[in-house]
Amino acid sequence: MVERKVVIAAEVGLHARPAATFVQTAAQAPFEVTVSKGGQAPVNGKSILAILGMDARQDDSVVIRVEGDGPEAEELLNRLAEICETP
């Protein structure tokens, strides 16, 4: 398992296009992906409704967790973090 805390940079937060891009990227991988904000329970990173329901806004911190090891899991985590950190 790999995880990283990132800050949402997009003005719209993790909504609309950034959320769709995040979910599409996560769905392409064979790993379980979860995202949590603050003290909330983690949500499925492959579910657009779960991601939108988190209400992650600009400057919020989220923790992305990829249930897997090795370079593929790290690469997925890097791509997901980049989506969140892109303004």
Catalytic status, residue 15: yes
Catalytic residue (choose from 15, 37, 46, 65): 15
CB 1 within 8 A of CB 33: no
Question: Which amino acid is residue 72, in one-letter code?
Answer: E
Instruction: Please identify every residue annotated as catalytic.
Output: 15
